[in-house]
Structure formats: C-alpha cells, structure tokens
Amino acid sequence: MKKNLYPIIFVILAILALYLTKFEYGSFSYEKSLKGCMIAQKNLSKNKTVEEIKNFCETEINKKLKK
C-alpha cells in the first residue's frame, strides 16, 4: 500500500499545481488576445481611436469567452 501512496500524492500535487497556475497565467492569454486584436483593428481601420478599438476588442473577446 505504501508503494501506491507516492504516485497518488504526486498526481494530487500536480493537479493542484496546474489548477493554481490557471489563476496566475489566465489573464496573460486575455491580454495577449486583446493586444493582437487592437493591432489588427488599427491596421484595418485607420480612422478609429484607440479607445473605440479597445472597447470593440474587449466586447468581441468577451463574447468568445462566454461561448
């Protein structure tokens, strides 16, 4: 029984570590997507302001996240 205890503890700790990294790096993906969207929108429409582009990108990314 003691032989099986170490792999079980390792798996539980690995799952816990992965769960905690979700909180640490979850916003990284969002910020990177937002910056990419803003760059693309600025290249497509030169006459929009940065705030308009940022609001548009935030709403589009949030729509995709809700699905």
- Reported as a single tens digit per residue, the pLDDT across 13-29 is 999 999 988 877 777 88
Predicted TM-score (pTM) of the model is 0.61
Q: Residue 37 and residue 57: Cα distance in Å, rounded?
A: 6
Cβ atoms of 42 and 53 closer than 8 Å:
yes
Type of residue numbered 11? V
What integer is the mean pLDDT of 26-46?
A: 88
Band (pLDDT 50/70/90 cuts) for residue 65 is confident
Residue 7's domain comprises 2-66
Cβ atoms of 48 and 41 closer than 8 Å:
yes
Say how many domains are in the chain.
1
